[in-house]
A and B are shown apart, each in its own frame.
Chain A
Amino acid sequence: MLKSNTFSRKTKAGRIKKEVREIYLRDDIYCGAAACKTCDSSTSRAPLDVASPLLILDTNVLLHQIDLLENSAIDNAVLLSVVLDEVKNKNMAVYNRLRALSTNPLRKFYVFSNQFHKDTFVKRMDGETPNDYNDRAIRVATQWYQTHLGTAATVLLITNDRDNKRRAGEEGISADTIQSYVKSLGQPELLDLLVQPASESEDTVMVEIEDLRPSKRQVVYQEHKPMSEITSGLHRGIYHQGKLRVNRYNPFQAYVGSESIGDEIIIYGRQNMNRAFDGDIVAVELLRQDQWHEEKNLSIADEEDEEEDDVHLAPSSADDAPRTTNLVSDSATDMNSTPSRPSGRVVGIIKRNWHSYCGSLEPMSMPAGTGSFTSALFVSKDRRIPKIRIQTRQLENLLDKRIIVAVDSWDRQSRYPSGHYVRVIGEIGDRDTESEVVLIENDINSRPFSSQVLACLPPLPWSVSSEDVANSIRQDLRSLRVFSVDPPSCKDIDDALHCTALPNGNYEVGVHIADVTNFVHPGTPLDGEASQRGTSVYLVERRIDMLPKPLTEDICSLRADVERLAFSVIWEMTPDAEIISTRFTKSVIKSCGALSYVEAQARMDDSRLMDPLTTDLRNMNALAKIMRQRRIDRGALTLASAEVKFQIDTETHDPLDIGMYQIREANQMVEEFMLAANVSVAKQIRDCFPSCSLLRRHPTPTREMLEPLLCTAAAIGLELDVSSSKALADSLDRAVRDDPYFNKLIRILATRCMTQAVYFCSGDLSPSEYHHYGLAAPLYTHFTSPIRRYADVIVHRLLAASLGIDKLPPVFQDRSQLTSIADNLNYRHRNAQMASRASVELHTLIYFRKRPTDTEARIVKIRSNGFIVFVPKYGIEGPVYLTGRGEKGSGEWHVDEQQQKIVKMDNSNSNILSYSVLQSVRIHMEVVEPQPNRPKLQLTLIT
């Protein structure tokens, strides 16, 4: 049956256009009930069970109660396509979760395309609002279900829309609100998951609570402007649109990157943030210029709970570092300097970025009566998120637990947003719980692989088959003396090397990378999962794999003495490490030894050993040294980071010892060849696929980003030339003092100013932007770790296609899709790093819990009431306060911005004590618990 759908639409140019669209109504859309006789359920999924009540859910229920729906107590539900479309338009995240529910074989959720069914199609009436139309369509579909399934089934429309419910009643459809339905189930724990309706609800429980706190009913925040006003304001340039990013280290400060003024707008204080969350798209109004500074003072004064800096891991790049670093110059001391960046306030929120957050409840005394609703304040682990008020019946259970909470609303009268409890993770302070929190916080999927994914694996036990060897695209390199060098106890070995002396005096050097794409085919669930995970995540005590364990640790891993498939890059090099020729091939290899860095180093150093493997190692090391020197001459930076290594107790998984990660020549040797392989591959794929290669670039840091480094350097009388990477590398080399650690410290500070390298699709940028600053390479990509990075998998596919071994998967035709893959990889990569850092921080805390320590530390930054120190031995950084928290600005200490010094004066104005940047101090480290269950590491100065 053919119907047409006519509606008017406003075009971009502002004209009204009439659209006519056909709609083909069908008789082959089934009801989805397994027991239904009239519908042919053999071809499609029919999960619905007629014996229990069938729920038809309204849009508002789906949008607000998604956490409840994900609980298995609510089941046997029909999702109408008209409802899903509305959800999709309003909230994509909820839509995706619903889609996941409807495909989950364990849940009974069925999507019914009511708009295309001949009996449930509803024609839009004149003057009917979209909302009324949808409600009517829902009622018609409910009616149809009831008549279709007959009296055997009960069909229940669940809606929180009062009007819809009333009309359903008039039409003889049984309808109920979600609240009363959940109550009728008789499972009190579900009530916590239920989002309380907004204040106009008739729900009695809610009213009681409102009555209890009448004082709270005052307006705290300014009203958000209506959408129409925001749109016109944006048009006229009064408002500026952008994504709000809250300062990770000071939640009362946020930035809005605005395209319209080409600068970041700073927003000080919750009042000006006006209920916006981190990641929301907001409309901002600029404040008058004379208010810019005033606001700053105000922001510190009016916050009731100013938080102090925690001790944290030393940042390894500008992305991790506190944003305040480049604001040092305009801190309270120099008020009369040039106006800093514009500041503003949020007038409206265009798109919310609410999701669920991890954290715990604020400690509070137990109310007298248990079992009734009490409200509690939830403190997120992520400091950028404000406290969230939740209602719970199980306060005593939740108080010392890490829980997940979702935000529902934030109205003008309440200081905090209100939300609802989602689930418990575990006890606070428990290592597993806290690790779990780290994973959730960083959006890392640590769930086991699904059966569909595991079905893509080759049957085990797997070994290289004769077909693989006979395959003409695969070269048999089993006769070569291939070996791998990795960290000790490394199970996912994805790279191996060989080096053979050729009769003409040159060397044949090969880098062999695990041939992951031989097992991970594009378009399979395995590929989809890997692409979503993007990278393996390494926590201190565990590893979250990107690929299932059999692939990671066995089939792909280039272990010793077994035949494995590889993708090889083979160069012919002169003894001066000049590359004469490069070739790429898929291969079969047999590693003759999986060495650790220590072993490899020991072999090279032991002059008695003359076996062929050791000779190969020495030859390679010689070549690597030349390559490294050449790279440094080109301007590659030798950067340093404060990476630490834990020794973990095998039984209790508690950290036994921490120390800096030691870098040996063997590490550098392997790294050098990996870099060379990556560069060679990058050239090859760039030449073959100029518009759809996945490359990696490292943007040149701007002078502004290097400002903190220059500031510090100037204070200690060191001159740094940052005009190019070469100049910077040279001046870093010259920065030597009698203090042996000085150079490393400067390098650490320099590294911290750089942003991280990012993946990108070569079609998105111009070739001049491909440059990798840190490596001083015009082209770079990742090829060498396909087991733990998805980017490398993509690059393997590109390389295979460039050699004509494989076809290029269709993804590469679609640039926008490739860009979104690159964005996801960057996001995952960054999250993985954040998670590793958080995990190290967690273990540092556990380590120091039992061991208060005195140690050496370096001052890296001066603050008005103290300084930030860096503890090289443990790679952590944190504040040391010279004055107590209460007695701020007592006047004893004076900060000298120019000299980066903090000085204590006595009455005669001669300084008694002074601390300057990079100075070495002794500190005491101890774990304290200012609040129960909230341990933190405290650093104090030993004088």
Chain B
Amino acid sequence: MEYVSPEGLRLDGRRPMEMRQLRAEIGTVAKANGSAVFEMGNTKVIAAVYGPREVQNRSQQINDQALVRCEYSMANFSTGDRMRKPKGDRRSTEISLVIRQTMEACILTHLMPRSQIDIFVQVLQADGGTRSACINAATLALADAGIPMRDIVTSCSAGYLNSTPLLDLNYIEDSAGGPDVTVGILPKLDKVTLLQMDAKLPVDIFETVMGLAIEGCKAIANYIREVLLENTKQLEYRRGL
């Protein structure tokens, strides 16, 4: 299968180094302390953050830092075939864990001892790169909730098909069976908090693919910062400042 035409265009008309269209909205769930919808092309994810609040299950309470919990789920209508997704299957447990660890790395948990932060992410529409979209949505929601963080976390995936590194794989490219490198970074600190790949790739190619994913993360970080800035301006305006 030809995923990149000799003219250098991908199946959806993007060039190899291009990302899908990004869109973000903050404050979509009124009840939550912070919430956001994040879109990468046709992938659409909603995130809601509750907390910091009292720990529900006392036995889980940690005395010197906050407890971060994360729940990932996929809406039944998120994929074309309306399959009932059992809650707590391997895949969503794994992604929940991935998101929790990634977010924990940037939340200043020591500032909120004996409290709990809940992050709920749900995929509304899946078209590849859900993991990255979830992390980006969670970042926005955490920022919206005003939870202290070292830096924002952004994530992006990159793959390698037809001997070409490709940024931000969509579903068709994702299901091609090639390597899919998901990277999460703290853009200001320039640190990697997440790196996943479940295929074999020679080291030198891996480095270029990962470099590409990091570039993508940085671009997303710029966008997220813009969105947050815009949101803050709106809040300012509403308060009449």
Docked Cα-Cα span, A807 to B205, in Å, equals 12
Closest 6 CB pairs of A and B: A116-B13, A24-B13, A17-B80, A22-B12, A813-B200, A24-B14
Whether B7 contacts A81 by the Cβ 8 Å rule is yes
**Residues of chain B in range 1-46 having any CB-CB distance to chain A below 8 Å:** 2, 5-7, 9, 11-14, 18, 20-21, 41-42
Q: Measured between C-beta atoms, what is the minimum distance from A153 to chain B in Å? A: 21
Interface residue? A11 (CB, 8 A): yes
Chain B residues with a Cβ under 8 A of chain A: 2, 5-7, 9, 11-14, 18, 20-21, 41-42, 80-81, 127, 163, 170, 172, 200-205
Does A15 lie at the interface of the complex (its beta carbon under 8 Å from any beta carbon of B)?
yes
- Give CA–CA (A11, B80) in the complex, Å: 11
Contact yes or no, A99 B6, CB < 8 A = yes
Contacts of B42 in A (CB 8 A): 4, 20-22
B interface footprint on A1-14 (CB within 8 Å = 1, 0 otherwise): 01010000001000
List, sorted by A's number, 27 A–B pairs whose CB atoms are closer than 8 Å: A4-B42, A11-B81, A17-B81, A21-B11, A21-B172, A22-B21, A23-B13, A24-B12, A24-B13, A24-B14, A24-B18, A25-B13, A26-B13, A29-B7, A81-B7, A102-B6, A103-B6, A111-B5, A111-B6, A111-B7, A113-B5, A113-B9, A113-B13, A116-B9, A810-B163, A810-B201, A813-B202
Residues of B within 8 A of A810 (CB): 163, 201-202, 205
Query: Which chain A residues have a beta carbon within 8 Å of chain B's beta carbons?
Result: 2, 4, 11, 15, 17-26, 29, 81, 88, 99, 102-103, 111, 113, 115-116, 523, 807-810, 813
Name the A residues within 8 Å of B9 (CB-CB): 26, 113, 116
Q: In angstroms, how far is the closest chain B Cβ from the Cβ of A425? A: 31
8 Å CB contact of B201 from A15, A18, A81, A813: A813
Cβ contact within 8 Å between B205 and A113? no
CA distance A4 to B125 in the complex (A): 14
Closest to B18 in A: A24
Q: How far is the CA of A29 from the CA of B9 in the complex (A)?
A: 10
Q: Is the CB of A22 within 8 A of B205?
A: no
| Closest CB in chain B relative to A603 CB, distance in Å | 48
With A and B bound together, what is the CA distance between A807 and B127 in angstroms? 35
A11 partner residues in chain B, CB cutoff 8 A: 81
Contact B5 A81 (CB under 8 A): yes
A115's closest neighbor in chain B, by CB? B13
- Is chain A's interface secondary structure helix, strand, loop, or mixed overall? mixed
| Bound-complex Cα distance A11 to B81 (A) | 10
Task: From the candidates B7, B14, B81, B204, name the one contacting A807 in the complex (CB within 8 A).
Answer: B204
Complex: A903 Cα to B233 Cα, angstroms: 109
B12 touches A113 (CB 8 A): no
B202 touches A808 (CB 8 A): yes
In the assembled complex, the Cα of A280 lies from the Cα of B219 at a distance in Å of 51
Q: Which residue of B lies closest to A102 (CB)?
A: B6
A19 to B172, CA, bound (A): 11
Within 8 Å by CB of B12, from A21, A88, A523, A809, lies A21
Q: Give B172's nearest chain A residue, CB to CB.
A: A21
Q: Which residues of B contact A25 (CB under 8 A)?
A: 13
Contact of A22 among B2, B80, B170, B201 (CB under 8 A): B170
Query: Cα distance A855–B2 when bound, in Å?
Result: 59
Number of A-B contacts (CB under 8 A): 62
A102 contacts which chain B residues (CB < 8 A)?
6
In the complex, the chain B residue whose C-beta lies closest to that of A117 is: B13
Give A523 to B170 CA distance when docked, in angstroms. Answer: 27
Complex Cα distance, B201 from A29, in Å, reads 32
Residues of B within 8 A of A99 (CB): 6
A110 to B65, CA, bound (A): 63
Task: Give Cα A665 to B2, complex, Å.
Answer: 53
CB-nearest residue of chain B to A808: B202
- Given A23-B13, A113-B7, list of 15 further CB < 8 A pairs? A17-B80, A17-B81, A19-B80, A20-B42, A22-B42, A22-B127, A22-B170, A24-B20, A25-B13, A26-B9, A523-B163, A807-B204, A808-B202, A809-B202, A810-B205
Inside 8 A of A24's CB, which chain B residues have their CB?
A: 12-14, 18, 20-21
In the bound complex, CA of A373 to CA of B21 (Å) = 59
Residue of B with least CB distance to A19: B80
Q: A807-B204, A808-B202 are in contact. Are A22 and B81 (CB under 8 A)?
A: no
Residue in B closest to A99 when the chains form the complex, CB atoms: B6
Q: How far is the CA of A81 from the CA of B11 in the complex (A)?
A: 11
Q: Which residue in chain B gives the minimum CB-CB distance to A88?
A: B2
Q: Are A22 and B5 in contact (CB under 8 A)?
A: no
Interfacial chain A residues near B163, Cβ < 8 Å: 523, 810
Query: A810 vs B41: C-alpha distance in the bound complex, in angstroms?
Result: 31
- Docked complex Cα distance between A356 and B14 (Å): 38
- Residues of B contacting A20 with CB < 8 Å? 42, 127
Q: Which residues of chain B have C-beta atoms less than 8 A from A15's C-beta?
A: 81
A809 CB contacts on chain B under 8 angstroms = 202
In the assembled complex, the Cα of A116 lies from the Cα of B81 at a distance in Å of: 28
> Which residues from chain B contact A2 at a C-beta distance below 8 Å?
21
Q: Which residues of A contact B14 (CB under 8 A)?
A: 24
A116: chain B residues within 8 A (beta carbon): 9, 13
Q: Once the chains are docked, how many angstroms separate the CA of A111 from the CA of B6?
A: 9
In the assembled complex, the Cα of A523 lies from the Cα of B205 at a distance in Å of 13
Query: Which A residues touch B41, using CB under 8 A?
Result: 22
A22-B20 contact, Cβ under 8 Å, with A15-B81, A116-B13, A810-B202: yes
* A4–B172 CA distance with the chains assembled, in angstroms: 15
Contact check, A18 vs B204: say whether CB atoms are below 8 A apart: no
CA distance A861 to B143 in the complex (A): 88
Measured between alpha carbons, how far is A523 from B62 in the docked complex, in Å?
Answer: 55
- Quick one: which of A4, A19, A21 has the most chain B CB within 10 A? A21
> Shortest distance in angstroms between B53's beta carbon and chain A's nearest beta carbon?
38
Expressed in whole angstroms, the Cα–Cα distance for A17 and B42 within the complex equals: 16
CA distance A481 to B42 in the complex (A): 69
Complexed CA–CA distance, A121 and B202 (Å): 38
Assess the A807–B202 pair: CB atoms within 8 A. Answer: yes
Q: Could you tell me the distance between the alpha carbons of A810 and B209 in the complex, rounded to whole angstroms? A: 14
Contact (Cβ within 8 A) B80 A18: yes
Bound form: Cα–Cα A807–B202 in Å: 8
Q: How far is the CB of A635 from chain B (nearest CB, A)?
A: 38
Residue of A4, A24, A523 most packed against chain B (CB within 10 A)? A24
CA distance A22 to B127 in the complex (A): 10
Alpha-carbon gap, A189 to B201, bound state (A): 53
A816 to B: closest C-beta gap in Å: 9
Give the docked Cα–Cα distance between A19 and B79 (Å): 10
Output the nearest chain B residue to A11 by Cβ-Cβ distance.
Answer: B81
Q: Tell me how far the C-beta of B83 lies from the nearest C-beta in chain A, rounded to whole angstroms.
A: 11
Nearest chain B CB to A7's CB is how many angstroms away?
11
On chain A, the residues within 8 Å of B202 by CB distance are 807-810, 813
Which residues of chain A are near B205, meaning CB under 8 Å? Answer: 810
Contacts of B201 in A (CB 8 A): 810, 813
Interfacial chain B residues near A81, Cβ < 8 Å = 5, 7
Look across to chain B and name the residue whose beta carbon is closest to the beta carbon of A21.
Answer: B12
- Tell me, in angstroms, the Cα distance from A21 to B42 when the chains sit together: 8
In the assembly, what is the distance between CA of A11 and CA of B20, in Å? 26
Tell me which residues across on chain A come within 8 A of B200, comparing CB atoms.
Answer: 813
Contacts of A4 in B (CB 8 A): 42
| Residues from chain B with Cβ under 8 Å of A88 in the complex | 2
Interchain nearest-CB distance for B190 vs A (Å)? 28
CA distance A813 to B11 in the complex (A): 24
Most chain A CB inside 10 Å of its own CB: which residue of B12, B21, B172, B200: B12
In chain B, what residue has the closest Cβ to A24? Answer: B13
Chain A residues within an 8 Å CB radius of B81: 11, 15, 17
CA distance A103 to B172 in the complex (A): 27
**Which chain B residues border A18 with CB–CB below 8 Å?**
80
